[in-house]
Structure 1
C-alpha cells in the first residue's frame, strides 16, 4: 500500500533541492530528513562530523543481515546562476523532467531511498534483518562523512551496501580512486629588476609539474574495467604583483587511480620527483589532502543480480553491470571489506550531473523508489 502519493514524492524532492547544500550546508538537509522520518514513525540520529555539518542514520527492522542504503547530502556549486533556464534551487517540472541543482547528484537518490524506507516501514515489509539508511556530508569534497562512518564502526555490521548514486539503469560495481595533492613551493621575494636577490617560487614548480606530467603519462597504465590512470594539474596560484618575484607558488593536482597504478604508487613517484628538484635548490612540499582508493568488487554478487532482476521489471530491458569514473563514498565505506563484498551503486541519473540545467527524469525517480523497496524486501526476506 502506497503511503506517499506522487505529488508528495515530487514535493519531497522539491524540498530537498530547495536547500542549498553546496559543499557544507548539509545539516539542514539532515534535519529535514530526520523530521520526515519522525513524521512516519522512524527514529533517526544526527551525528555532527564537523561543526555545523551532520551525517544522519536511521534504520528499520532488526537483526541480521544488515542492508545499507547510503546517500550523500551535499551538492556541487551552480557556478553561474544566469546560465540556468530556471532557479537551480527551485525544482522545476518540464516535459517529464525535474530540473534543479542536485536533482541527479544526488537528491533524487536521497529522496527515493528515504521514501522507500518510509513505505517499507509503514507496510511492515522488513521481517528478516535490518535496513539501514546512512547519509553523509562532504562527498563532493573530501568525503569526511563516509570517513567518519568507517572510522567509528558504522560499517562493521553492514552485510551489503547500495549507494544511491547516479548510475541510471545500470548496476555499478567499480570506480576509480581519487587523489588531491597540493604542492607548495617556497622562494624569496625581490624586486623584478633585481631577481638575483630573490628566488622565484614559480620556476621549480613549473619544472616539477612538467616532469610529473611526462613521468605519469608515460606509464600509460590502464585497467580492463576502470580504464586509464589520469593525472592533471587543475589549480595554479602565485604572486601578488607583476613586478615582484613571487616568494611562494601553489599547485593542486588530481589523479584518478586504478589498481595497476594505485594511490601509494602515485605518492611514491611524486616524492621522488620532489626530492630531485629540491636537491637542485628548490623548496617544495607535498600535501596529499585526499586519498581515496579505487573500488572493484564482484559484479556477480547476489545483490548485483537482484538489482539487475528488479531493474529489468521496470525497464523491460536487461540491466548491465558497469564501472564509473567518478569516486563515491564507497572508497571509505568499503574499507576493510573484501572484493566479494556485495556492493552496488544504483540510482536515478544521467549525463547532466554537475552541469547547468541538471535534471532527473520523473519516471526514473519514481521507478527507483519502487526499485529500492523491491530490493530490500527480497534481500531481507
Structure 2
C-alpha cells in the first residue's frame, strides 16, 4: 500500500486547493499531475465551464474483464468564518490522529483514498483484469453537475459496478432518498394597505397553494421498508416590502425527500398540475420551478457487489459492518441514468463534521479506506 506519508500529503494538498463551489480545474490539474508519470494511466478532461473541469482517470488491466468505477467530487462548501476554526480551513493541518480542513470529510478524504489506490496499483505493476475508471467531478454540492454531464456523455454506460466515496463512516450504504427542491412564485399587485381593493395580495395567493400541496403530499402514504416515507417540508417563505403595503410578490420554497415508490418526474408533474389548476382562478398567478431534482437510489442489499464491499470492510476493520441507507442524496442520482443498470455502493471515510467548523477526518479511517478500496478493486476485477 502507498506509504502513509505520501497518502497524507496527497490528502493535505487536495484540501489546500480552495474549490469552494467552483475552481475544480485546479484540483483536476493536481490529480492529473500525479498520474502523469504513468503511461498506463489515460487522463481525460471534460470541461463543464471555465475553471470547472471533470477528470476521468482510466487504467486498463492485463486482460479483458469487468469495469469498476469510482466517483468523488472535487468541490467543497464555504468554510464560514475562518476565525472560528481551530486550524485555518484550507491548511490541511495534520495532527497525530486527524487531518483538518474544509473537505477533509466531504469528500476529499474519499477521493484521495481512491487516488492512492490507483497510484499504488500503477507503481507496483499489480496485475488485474478489466478496467478501473476514476471520476473526479464538479458541482456535487450544488446540483451534481459533473456526474450528470459525464453520465449524459456516456462515460458510465459500460460500468459493471461503482463506488461513490462519500463519507459513510465506513458503513456500506446501498440506497438513498431522492430530492426535489421547488419554488413557487406568486405575482400580485402592490397597493396601499388602506386601499387593498386597488391591489392583489401575492401572499394570499401562496396561501391557496400551501394547503393544497400539503393535501397532495398526504396522499403519498407508501412507506419504504428502509428509507421510510416520502418527506415534504416548506423551508423558505417571503413576500412584501413593508407592513403597510399590499405585497406584489411572494415566494415559497419547499423540499421533498423522495423514495423509489414515487418517481421524481411523476411528483413534479403532479405539482405542476396543481399550480395549473390553481391558476384557472383569474385572481391567481403562480409559477413553479424545480432546482436540480435528484432521483432516489433503489439499491439491493443482496447484490453480490454490495456483499463483497461489506465482507472486505468487515475483514479489514475486524468488526461487523452494517448495510445502511444514506439519509441524503449522492451522485448516484445521476449515474443510475446510465445506459445500463449496475450496483452502486456509497462507501468512504469521514464523519458528521462535514459542512461544519473544524471539519476533519480520522487518519485511521482514511488509511483503512485505502486498504478496503484496494481489496475491492482487486477482488472484484479478478473474480471470474
TM-score, normalized by the shorter chain, greater than 0.5: yes
Whole-angstrom CA distance in 2 between matches of 1:298 and 1:227? 16
Q: 2:193 corresponds to which residue?
A: 192
Q: In the TM superposition, what is the alpha-carbon distance from 1:219 to its structure 2 partner?
A: 3.8
Deviates more, 1:369-378 or 1:59-68: 59-68
Matched, 1:179 2:180: yes
Whole-angstrom CA distance in 1 between matches of 2:127 and 2:150? 24
Q: 2:79 corresponds to which residue?
A: 78
Aligned length: 378
Q: 1:223 corresponds to which residue?
A: 224
Does the Cα contact within 8 Å between 1:126 and 1:380 map onto a contact in 2? no
Q: 2:313 corresponds to which residue?
A: 311
Q: 1:158 corresponds to which residue?
A: 159
Deviates more, 1:308-317 or 1:85-94: 85-94
**Residues 216-365 of structure 1: pairs in structure 2 closer than 5 A:** 216-217=217-218, 219-280=220-281, 281-336=283-338, 341-365=342-366
Give the TM-score of the pair, scaled to structure 1. Answer: 0.92
Secondary structure class of the residue paired with 2:104: coil
Name stretches of at least 5 consecutive residues in structure 1 with no aligned partner.
none
Does the Cα contact within 8 Å between 2:157 and 2:339 map onto a contact in 1? no
Secondary structure class of the residue paired with 1:294: coil
Q: In the TM superposition, what is the alpha-carbon distance from 1:162 to its structure 2 partner?
A: 0.9
Q: 2:203 corresponds to which residue?
A: 202
Residues 365 and 297 from structure 1, CA distance in 2 versus in 1: closer, same or farther, beyond 3 angstroms? same
Q: 1:60 corresponds to which residue?
A: 59
Whole-angstrom CA distance in 1 between matches of 2:227 and 2:10? 35
Q: In the TM superposition, what is the alpha-carbon distance from 1:355 to its structure 2 partner?
A: 2.3
Secondary structure class of the residue paired with 1:168: coil
Deviates more, 1:324-333 or 1:63-72: 63-72
Whole-angstrom CA distance in 1 between matches of 2:221 and 2:90? 41
Q: 2:44 corresponds to which residue?
A: 45
Q: 1:17 corresponds to which residue?
A: 15
Secondary structure class of the residue paired with 2:105: coil
Deviation string 1:82-122 (CA, Å, 9 cap, x unpaired) is 43322222223345122211111100001001111110111
Does the Cα contact within 8 Å between 2:182 and 2:255 map onto a contact in 1? yes
Whole-angstrom CA distance in 1 between matches of 2:207 and 2:200? 14
Q: In the TM superposition, what is the alpha-carbon distance from 1:72 to its structure 2 partner?
A: 0.9
Deviates more, 1:77-86 or 1:102-111: 77-86
Does the Cα contact within 8 Å between 2:157 and 2:338 map onto a contact in 1? no
RMSD between aligned residues: 2.1
